[in-house]
Structure 1
Amino acid sequence: MKKIFLSLLLISTCSHLLFSQEVNTAKLDSFFNALDRNNRAMGSFAISRKGKVVYQRSIGYASLEEQNKILASNVSQYRIGSITKVFTSVLIFQLIEQGKITLDTKLSKFFPQFPNAENITIENLLSHTSGLADYVNDPKDQIWITNPHTKAELLDVVAKGKIHFEPGKGMSYCNSGFLLLGYILEEITGQSYAKLIEKRISAKIGLKHTFSSKINNSGALEARPYAIAEPWKSVKDLYFPNIIGVGDILSTPTDMLTFINALTEGKLVSTNSFDLMKRFKSPGNTGMGLFGVPFNEKLGIGHSGGTRGTFSFLVKMEADDLAYAGCINGANFMPNDVTIAALVISYNQPYKIPVFLTAAELEPFLGNYSSAQHNLKISITQKSATLIGQATGQSPFVLSAIDKNKFEFMQSGISVEFNKEKQQMIFKQGGKTSLFEKEKPQ
């Protein structure tokens, strides 16, 4: 099962970024046209500059149901996964500002039956330092969360789960913390989480397409999730009432931009509260509801979200007043790479539109490669129509085609060129070039 949280963007391609006043919308169109034409993604995307939306694009379908085939549009609503946590954090800080709770308030005030409840604070829950079991990702049975469960059942899984560490003694991404924060919000205010989103956020800043607590596929505008197949295949997603306050919100990219811009402009919480939300600590540039998003020498703020079938990203580069939001309900291209491309193009940096090859066209490149210059070997495999590289003892990396025989892994500055006739691979990284020979099958 896909975790509700996705790794945040990390990229290093240019030594210095200067922001142009104009976003290159033509090149953005070329990029999304390539994804659409080659059936590599379905979803909606938007970019704002100085608080104004300057680019919107939707590709593919919001629904492929036989009796309900609907093209994706600017009003298609997507499950934004863990970006929901930013909304939850905003609500918590609003209550802190009203004096109804503090960062030092103990979990025992609301859930005394939980392990370490006397020592776990609201700050621990917000900053993923509670040490509590993660009720979404820890259970071995990853199907149970796709079926309905009562509040008591959900809390029981958290309470009986294995503690990761003592409160404040470590950091581990924890969906359970935000489940509890959602319930705490409801107990303090006497209102449902959905009502709090509507009253304290949506109505306040004019979000017209953002809602919580809706059962899966119950809205006419809700995009259905799909996995790549021949053709796209419907996905059974998480049962969203199980993850209210954690990852259930429905929204659109333009609403998400309105939200992040309002947050940075002080329209939702005070400057002090916002500064606490983005008080980033290692590992992972973790804040209280927000994460730091490194992009070359800059550090943006934001969050990503992933369910079993949708992938979303929200980031704002505060220094340049540039924000990006994207929601994908069908992915046959790395969702993180979509965000990278959108930001690189928005900064008018060089970017080569990917060339998409078929599985058959990739087959001649597959195999193990070794070099007289190095002790390591590099294996080249494929998943569907995507080429995967992996050096000895290292993590795999996705190679995006930029020509019929040229590929790159932009995040690490890797470029690869194959020579099918000579059975060779030229590997470049960090200004160094290495020649690898394809090994003959044993």
Structure 2
Amino acid sequence: MKKLLFSSLFFLIISNGFAQNFNSKRLDSLFQLLDKNNKYMGSIAVSENGKIIYSNAIGYDDIATSKKSDAQTKYRIGSISKMFTASLIFKAIEEKKLNLNQTIDKYFPTVKNSNKITISNLLNHRSGIYNFTSDKNYAEWQTQYQSKEKMIERISSGEIVFEPDTKGEYSNSNYVLLTFIIEAVYKKSYSEILNQKIIKHLQLKNTYYGGKINLDTKECNSYTFSGEWKKSTETDLSIPQGAGALVSNPTDLTIFIKNLFAGKIISLENVTLMKTIKDKYGMGMFEYPYFERKSYGHSGGIDGFRSLLSYFEKEKLAVALTSNGLNYDLNNIVLCALSSYFNKPFEMPNFEKVTLKTEILDQYLGTYASLEIPLKITITKKEASLMAQATGQSAFPLEANSTTVFKFDQAGVVLEFKASEKQMTLNQGGKEFLFTKE
């Protein structure tokens, strides 16, 4: 549910392509490189008009027992769950159980501004409700069961971020509350409603509301990389609810989004509402521009899991990635998949490491500021490596690619130094920013 450092989704311009020319060897080569260099554990599926044209899986469900992952492995998908929840809300609207403009005070009288906040405001993150995952004490209770009453109490106790419908700002609290509204109108658990309205209808065999991770049912643990893969904490899924508690795999996700955009879950009129963007947010969707083209979908992150689901309406192309260990920019894997479909250039990553003498590293130490973005980056040294820390972010390690170029592959960050001019260039997502040492 938390975003990656410097997270962004940036796509190259594309032209017409055809599935029969899909460059599977290119993606195979990338996955081999990622696997060999401990950069990614996870799975991908690419479908065109509902037919899988590429799939792959690398890594382990469980490193301790060397249990390898395959196409059947199931992952926690984090905030992609919001697309399912938004679909269920629109299903309830179509069944005359809700309407977009009704306020939520009937359900949550203790939530501040509940008499002004509408269902619509929750869906497109315009409620102003405090995001509970931003709680400074969140890490102390994220692995413990939380009752519905306790979650409402935690959300209600947060301060108002802004007045309803005056702006958009992402908040997981919105979709936890939407979950409870769905349960209230159907008088069933979210899991039961999800199964009835979406999972059974689409025959999704690997999608459900998650619980404790169970390796025996082809679920997987998640990991972070710090010299080696280390098992991540496991969020108790009573907390994220319909904001991030679902389990699935890429094949199921492509089936879901293809049917959503075909009007097989909710009406096409309501799909249009879902994809209508206001201040960066749709109703359970983001818009990902391809210059003259657009795709729609959602990303996800919970513990060490990362995921992405995106759909191109004209081509009926769906791309789904799930990961239980990421030490590389997920966006670059998407770019490789898209370049393989649309026959565009793609440069394979170079993971060769360079060891530098400490006096070379010393000349880059300091704090850098940019006139282009309101962000400062402080460069420090830890043992024989550089560390970078952006304003308000945690420090992250840099790998030397040459004497002047350093990378943080997990977020697709490249820093290039010019010590003589006291300058540093940040490259990420195809964009470049100049920084000067203070």
Normalising by the residue count of structure 1, what TM-score does the alignment of the two structures yield?
A: 0.83
Which AA in structure 2 matches 1:355?
N
Measured against aligned partners, the alpha-carbon deviations of 1:175-201 in whole angstroms (never above 9, x if no partner) come to 111111111111111121111111111
| Partner Cα separation in structure 1 for residue 206 and residue 435 of structure 2 | 52
The range that moved more, 344-353 or 93-102, is: 344-353
SS of residue matched to 1:223: coil
Residue of structure 1 aligned with 2:350, choices 344, 351, 355: 355
Task: Answer yes or no: is 1:233 the counterpart of 2:225.
Answer: no
Measured against aligned partners, the alpha-carbon deviations of 1:87-122 in whole angstroms (never above 9, x if no partner) come to 000000011011111001210121222211111110
Task: Answer yes or no: is 1:170 the counterpart of 2:167.
Answer: yes
8 Å CA contact retained: 1:77, 1:221:
yes
Change (3 A) 1:378 1:8: closer
Change (3 A) 1:122 1:368: farther
| Partner Cα separation in structure 1 for residue 290 and residue 61 of structure 2 | 30
Which AA in structure 2 matches 1:57?
N
Change (3 A) 1:236 1:436: closer
Change (3 A) 1:258 1:117: same
8 Å CA contact retained: 1:381, 1:387:
yes
Task: Answer yes or no: is 1:89 the counterpart of 2:90.
Answer: no
Report what 1:303 is aligned to: 298
Measured against aligned partners, the alpha-carbon deviations of 1:110-157 in whole angstroms (never above 9, x if no partner) come to 122221111111001101111111122234442312211221111100
Give, in angstroms, the shift of residue 170 of structure 1. Answer: 2.0
Report what 1:183 is aligned to: 180
Task: Answer yes or no: is 1:248 the counterpart of 2:241.
Answer: no
Change (3 A) 1:426 1:147: closer
Change (3 A) 1:26 1:363: farther
Which AA in structure 1 matches 2:309?
L
| Partner Cα separation in structure 2 for residue 385 and residue 243 of structure 1 | 39
Report what 1:343 is aligned to: 338
Give, in angstroms, the shift of residue 256 of structure 1. Answer: 0.4
SS of residue matched to 2:272: helix
Measured against aligned partners, the alpha-carbon deviations of 1:320-372 in whole angstroms (never above 9, x if no partner) come to 322211111111112333333333343222111111133636978745569xx
Normalising by the residue count of structure 2, what TM-score does the alignment of the two structures yield?
A: 0.83
| Partner Cα separation in structure 1 for residue 263 and residue 5 of structure 2 | 27
Task: Answer yes or no: is 1:288 the counterpart of 2:283.
Answer: yes
SS of residue matched to 2:180: helix
Give, in angstroms, the shift of residue 269 of structure 1. Answer: 0.7
Report what 1:27 is aligned to: 26
Give, in angstroms, the shift of residue 434 of structure 1. Answer: 12
| Partner Cα separation in structure 2 for residue 296 and residue 130 of structure 1 | 30
Give, in angstroms, the shift of residue 84 of structure 1. Answer: 0.3
Change (3 A) 1:417 1:230: closer
| Partner Cα separation in structure 1 for residue 339 and residue 389 of structure 2 | 25
Report what 1:324 is aligned to: 319
Report what 2:36 is aligned to: 37
Report what 1:314 is aligned to: 309
| Partner Cα separation in structure 2 for residue 48 and residue 261 of structure 1 | 9
Change (3 A) 1:226 1:93: same
1:47-126 to 2 correspondence within 5 Å? 47-66=46-65, 69-126=66-123
SS of residue matched to 1:147: coil
Residue of structure 1 aligned with 2:203, choices 203, 206, 220: 206
Report what 1:17 is aligned to: 14
Change (3 A) 1:269 1:330: same
SS of residue matched to 1:224: coil
| Partner Cα separation in structure 2 for residue 104 and residue 356 of structure 1 | 52
SS of residue matched to 1:240: coil
Change (3 A) 1:239 1:111: same
1:415-434 to 2 correspondence within 5 Å? none
The range that moved more, 82-91 or 310-319, is: 310-319
| Partner Cα separation in structure 2 for residue 175 and residue 436 of structure 1 | 33
8 Å CA contact retained: 2:355, 2:400:
no
8 Å CA contact retained: 2:78, 2:305:
yes
Change (3 A) 1:380 1:162: closer
| Partner Cα separation in structure 1 for residue 36 and residue 30 of structure 2 | 10
8 Å CA contact retained: 1:254, 1:325:
yes
Report what 1:275 is aligned to: 272
SS of residue matched to 2:314: helix
Q: What stretches of structure 2 of length at least 5 have no aligned partner? A: none
Which AA in structure 2 matches 1:347?
F
Residue of structure 1 aligned with 2:147, choices 135, 146, 150: 150
8 Å CA contact retained: 1:305, 1:311:
yes
| Partner Cα separation in structure 2 for residue 332 and residue 223 of structure 1 | 17
Change (3 A) 1:362 1:266: farther
SS of residue matched to 1:353: coil
Measured against aligned partners, the alpha-carbon deviations of 1:36-83 in whole angstroms (never above 9, x if no partner) come to 0111111111111222111101011011233xx311111100000000
Change (3 A) 1:242 1:10: closer
Report what 2:220 is aligned to: 223
| Partner Cα separation in structure 2 for residue 341 and residue 385 of structure 1 | 32
| Partner Cα separation in structure 2 for residue 60 and residue 190 of structure 1 | 41
The range that moved more, 296-305 or 352-361, is: 352-361
Identity %: 35
Report what 1:262 is aligned to: 259
Give, in angstroms, the shift of residue 8 of structure 1. Answer: 6.8
